[in-house]
Each structure stands twice: as structure tokens, then as C-alpha cells.
Structure 1
Amino acid sequence: MKKFALSLSTAAALALSSHIAHAQSSITLYGIIDAGLTYFSNLNGHGTFVANDGSIQSNRWGLRGVEDIRGGTKVVFVLENGFNLYSGTMVQSGVLFSRQAWLGLSAPKYGTFTLGKQYDFFWDNLTQFAMGQVAGQYAWHPGDFDHLAGTLHINNALKYTSPNYGGFSAGALYAFPSQSVPAGTGRVIAFGLRYSNGPLNLGAAYTDTHDLGLNAPTQAGTTLFPDLPAGPVIANSVSSFGIGGSYRFGRSLTRLLFTDTHFRVRDDNGSMTTYEANEVFQLTPATTLMGGYWYSKLEAQKWQNVTVLLDYALSKRTDVYTSATYLRASGGAAPVFLGGGAAPVFANGEYVSTGQSSTAVRVGIRTLF
């Protein structure tokens, strides 16, 4: 029995070493866990403390796989789950890999082609310029209608990203309509372009989504248009365009961003434009300070956001942070943070509850694995 067990383990070890040596394959388990406490100065007209998670980054775990099949060509895949730390539940009930689930081929000469549930090029090319990328959910633009926070998970997507040519790369995405629109989207077309050269980074993206489910009152404190109900709607189309850039000078990183999102819901049309500027400064190797401002406008509705964050790294994987965000809304819009849990009251499309502004103060801890 001992001889058999020894032979079996030896054979398994030899097979494994041969597989690693020749196929150069790997599977990586990774994730992010974020938890903390937030104080909202105006949540349905009251100051409230909330124990919440996934604020600076959404909680997730995933599997990333790579297999080198020949000549540098690789089979690649990602399966990524979103979860709620305090309850232990999945972010999207009944969907195991709610963030990403895709498989594809990648080659240095030809680029990368993937199939499955994927992000668009706002996430790939422009999120890196947004203050929400550092400060989290309360710093994102209204409702994340421009997809910078990664709330648009595109089903049935075919995606291509080119190799890097002199600092430039480009990409395109096409997604077939989901069988059930409320559970996904209709047809999606997206394009992206990025440039990187030393301290300078630039990006551009365009996404056109048909039959997209929106809950604008809870996402952004607006009904979008006065004649729409204060609840979920299906937008005929949501088309977003964005450009952004950053420049690093020593320990300071300056970032600028512009997005324009056009909504078509039934007979209504309108565009939300957002202008943003923020600065990230590395005070010490372990301490990061960020401050920024953005301004958004949709017809008469206006939003302004000022955010500051201080982050201290306890180790290579774990950090503690504190942030403060001031949000002011006017022109009929409510001061609702993305994921803030507010349920504003509207009459004829205009906010009628208490207060035009709200402040979110957050302390938290995050660890990576």
C-alpha cells in the first residue's frame, strides 16, 4: 500500500512539473475585502451612521487563468464574483460571477479577443482618471451612468483589444441582446482608444447601450425627465462618450476627465455632461492624499461633488483610510450618493424632500489577496 501511494504521488508530481514546464499555465485566486463605517449628514432628511462594505472598492473574489499554448499565444479567462461582506450574500442573487465571466485568446502580435460577461472601455481606459478610482463610491459621477465605477456588466459580449503600437492601443466590443432585458441589456456597441508614454496617459471611450434598465432616483437622485415615474424605467438607449488624461510630476499625479451621456427614454432626450479635476499626491511611500471636484448637468439639474481622501498602507496588501465627500444637488435633483441607500421623494420629477446637500464621512480598512 505504501509503495502504491508513493508511486502515485511521484507520478502526480512529475505530471504537474511537466505541465508547468511545457504549458506555462497558471490559475490565480485574488480578491478585495473592504469594510468600514460611514456617516451621512442627510439620508432622507436625517444624519445617520451606516455600517457598510465595498465603499472604496467593491468586495470581490475571482479566478484568473493563463495558459501558454504556443509561440506566446495564450488562453486567458477571468471569473469574478461580487459579494456583500456584512451579510455574506452575493451582490446579484442567483448570479455567481456577477462582475466578469469571460474566456479568450491573447497574442503579442495580434491582440486579445474575449467572449462572455465583460466591461466596456470606460472601465478599461477612463476609470484610471476618476477620483472614484481612489476614493470609491461616493466620488463617482451621478448614478454611474458613464460606467466609470464598473456598474455596467455587459452580457453576451465579444471584445477585441489591439496590441500596443508606439504607446497606442484600440479596442471594440459588440454584445448581443440579453434574453431578459431587466436582467441585462439590449444590444451594446463600444469603442476605446488609449495612449501611454512615460508620465503621460490619455484615454477615450464610447458606449451605446440599448434597452438598459435604470433606477435613476436611487442611483442619482433624479427621474431624468419630469414626466418619468420616480422608479425603474427601461431606457431606449444610453450613449456615453468620454475623454481623460493624467500627468505625473514627481510625487504628484494630475488627472482631468470629461464625460457626456445621452439618454433616450420614450419620447424624452437629454444629455448629462460631467467635468472633473483631481490630484493624487504621495506624501510618503505609505501615505496617499487625494482631492478633487466634479460638476454634472442634465438640463436644469446640477450636481457638484468635492472629495478628499487620506490613505495609509499598513502593508503591501492592507490599508486604512478616511474620506469626506460633499455633494450638492439643485434644479430638481436630490443629493444622492451612488450606493448611499437614499430613497428621495419626487413630485412632477422634482425633489421635494429635505435639504439640497449631503456629506458622507467614511473610515475603513481594505485588504487584498
Structure 2
Amino acid sequence: MKKAALALSILAASTSAAWAQSSVQLYGIVDVGLRWTSNANAGSSEKQVIPGGMSQSRLGVNVTEDMGGGLKAIANLEHRLNSDTGTVAAADFWRQSWVGIQSADFGRLTLGRQYNILFDIYTSTYASFKYSPYIEAYKPEIGLSMGARQDNMVKYLFEKGPIRGEVQVSAGEGNSQNKSFGGLLRYNQGPIAFGGAFLQVEDTLGKKVKGYTAGGAYTSGPWYINLSWATNKFDRGGLLGAAYTSGLLGNVLNAAANDVKKRDMISVGAAYQLTPQLNLGAHYWYATQTHYSAALANTKSKGHYVAFVADYAFSKRTDAYLELDYTKHEGAVRFANNAEKRGGSIVGIRHRF
């Protein structure tokens, strides 16, 4: 009996030691905003409590196990939620779900559902706003990220000094619309960061969507300035056309969603840290779109998007913000109620943990 108790105590000690090598971090964001929108319903304005003005509310788990010799096992699970109602924000409960290996000498290999390389280059290198990569409730730039995530992905990241490279491949696996490959390259040294990326996604019909982006950012004292370009090119008759061209904003409909030939966007922005607590930012996006159909062959649809943000940090984790935005469309792009113009504003509070 004593021998059995001793064996169990040794086993428990060894198990505790093994677990001690792992780090499990619970993290999240809770963001709720009050939004006013003009021309929302049959031309009338709309007032809403929205589940995230600057950031989508989320709950996630990061896991790291130090295996020695500069080698680590890593994993991530991240769930997005509607903070105003407590409901699920998307059909995929886990917006990220991946596991991988990270080496100090050989980079990082991850497998599972992850952000794609278009999203990676944008948020890491020339994000629209320094303190928050984009405005969750008003993000025209994300409309060219080709879904922002891919399923069944294998992604390799390597970083040496100021240079970072990434490659992604997704098999597609039968009836999945996420067969993809692409890569990015970025340089970040001192106040300067610039880079570019390419991604191709193929549907089950063999039709392809190709995305390209390039840009840079400059940070000097309280100033942050960024400039970027992006394009999406669509094969005619593809199944991904409607998914990737449903709008540059979540509530924008395109009258020719399955007939888009090419979409381009140029964006420029600046932010200024007025005080240690108060950050001011402004951004402008200009998009153009061409079509396959004979009726729209000579039509170049256009979109003008502008936003201003004032963000006040109460602490490192809690901030309040005021956002103002304006949208103007031309050509074959409209809002759901057929409006061409729309204004909006958000007052909100966000907490990170």
C-alpha cells in the first residue's frame, strides 16, 4: 500500500511538472457602441446598440508549451460574440482554431483555421489606425481581404531581423471553397514598415479570385501615416464572387455581385497622439470596380469612404471612442435600400483583458 501511494505521488509530481511547462492565456475584448446611421431604412435614420464599434467582441485562448532548445508548441482558439445580445457572431463558432510549432531558428508552422496573408500584411504593416487596425463597424479595406480567414490552412512564417515572410496553402478538401495559396513579404525597421502580399483562392468550379496588396507606414513621435493599395480579380461565373463582393461594408449590396471583373482600392490615413490618453485619426478609402456584363462593361463603379476617430484611453485596457463616417457610391453599387450616400457615428467603450 505504501509503495502504491509513493508511486501515485511521484506520478502526480511528474504530471504537475509537465503542466508547469505550458502557459494557457485567456484573453478577450468586450466592445459596445451606440451607432446612428442616416439613410438606413427607406431613407430614414437608425439608432442601434452595436456589438463592437472599434473591435468585434471576442473570447480566446492562447496556449504555449516550452519544449526546450528554442522550440515551442502553440495553439489558439478564438470565439467571436455579439456583446449586445450575447449571441454567436458568425456561423463558425471558432473564428480561429489552429495548432503549431514555433522555433527560434526556423520560424513558425501553424495548421487550422487562421487569418490569411492579406489580413496579416495589412494589420501588421499598414493598418488604417495605429491603436486599432480597423473600425469594426466601418471597415471598407477588409472588403478586399478575400474573407480574411481560410479553413484547412497550413501557414509558415519566418522572420529574420527586419524581414518577415509568410506562405499559406489550403487544400480545399472536396466541396470547400477555400483552396488557396499565397505569400507575403514585409520589412520593418525603425519608423518605416512596408510590404506586399498575393493570395489566390479557388472554388469548386475551378474559378479563381486573385488578390494583391502593397503599402507602407511611417511612425515619427506622435505621428502615424499610412498608404496602401489593393486589388481583387475575379474569374467570370465563379462561386466566390457573391461572397467576396457582397460589399465593402457589411450592409452594402452590390447590384452585380456575381458580375465583378476587378476591384481596386487606394487608402491613405494619419493618426496623431495629442496627449498620452487621446489619439486622433482619419482615413480615406477610394475604390473602383469594373464588370463583365455588356450592360455594365463601360461602367466603372466608385466608392468614397472617409472616417474620423477620437480615442481616449482611461487605462491600458479600457478606452472610449467617438467615430464619424461618410460613404458615397457611384455606378452599380448601392446600399440595401438603394441609397447612394450614408453617414454614421459611433460612441462606444471597449475593454481588453
User: Could you state the TM-score of these two structures normalised by the residue count of structure 1?
Assistant: 0.79
1:367 maps to what in 2? Answer: 351
SS at match of 1:56: coil
Q: Over aligned residues, Cα RMSD in angstroms?
A: 2.6
Match of residue 172, structure 1, among 147, 167, 177: 167
Partners of 1:161 and 1:59 lie apart in 2 by 27
1:237 maps to what in 2? Answer: 208
Q: Which amino acid aligns with 2:96?
A: Q
Q: 1:11 Cα shift?
A: 7.9
Q: Which amino acid aligns with 1:195?
A: Y
Q: 1:58 Cα shift?
A: 1.1
1:141 maps to what in 2? Answer: 140
Change (3 A) 1:200 1:251: same
1:56 maps to what in 2? Answer: 54
Q: 1:165 Cα shift?
A: 2.2
Q: Does residue 1:30 correspond to 2:27, yes or no? A: yes
- Give the alignment of 1:57-72 within 5 angstroms: 57-72=55-70
Gaps of at least 5 residues in structure 2 are 1-5, 239-258, 291-299
Q: 1:204 Cα shift?
A: 1.0
Partners of 1:38 and 1:12 lie apart in 2 by 56
Contact kept, 8 Å, 2:151 with 2:178, in 1: the verdict is no
2:243 maps to what in 1? Answer: none
Q: Does residue 1:280 correspond to 2:274, yes or no? A: no
Q: 1:130 Cα shift?
A: 3.4
Question: Residues 278-304 of structure 1: CA distance to partner in whole angstroms, max 9, x if unpaired?
Answer: 001111111110011110000211000
- Give the alignment of 1:310-321 within 5 angstroms: 310-321=310-321
Gaps of at least 5 residues in structure 1 are 1-6, 213-233, 337-342, 345-352
Q: 1:74 Cα shift?
A: 0.4
Q: Does residue 1:110 correspond to 2:106, yes or no? A: yes
Q: 1:85 Cα shift?
A: 1.3
- Give the alignment of 1:238-277 within 5 angstroms: 238-266=209-237, 270-277=261-268
Partners of 2:206 and 2:301 lie apart in 1 by 19
Question: Residues 183-234 of structure 1: CA distance to partner in whole angstroms, max 9, x if unpaired?
Answer: xx2311121111110111112111111129xxxxxxxxxxxxxxxxxxxxx9
SS at match of 1:127: helix
State how many pairs are aligned. 315
Q: 1:140 Cα shift?
A: 2.0
SS at match of 1:126: helix
Partners of 2:265 and 2:67 lie apart in 1 by 44
2:36 maps to what in 1? Answer: 39
Partners of 2:169 and 2:200 lie apart in 1 by 10
Give percent identity, aligned residues only.
28
Contact kept, 8 Å, 1:130 with 1:278, in 2: the verdict is no
Q: Which amino acid aligns with 1:100?
A: Q
Contact kept, 8 Å, 1:59 with 1:83, in 2: the verdict is yes
Question: Residues 107-139 of structure 1: CA distance to partner in whole angstroms, max 9, x if unpaired?
Answer: 011110111001111221112423264451344
User: Could you state the TM-score of these two structures normalised by the residue count of structure 2?
Assistant: 0.82
Question: Residues 145-180 of structure 1: CA distance to partner in whole angstroms, max 9, x if unpaired?
Answer: 324xxx432111111011x22311111110011444
Partners of 2:48 and 2:206 lie apart in 1 by 32
Q: Does residue 1:209 correspond to 2:201, yes or no? A: yes
Moved more, 315-324 or 120-129: 120-129
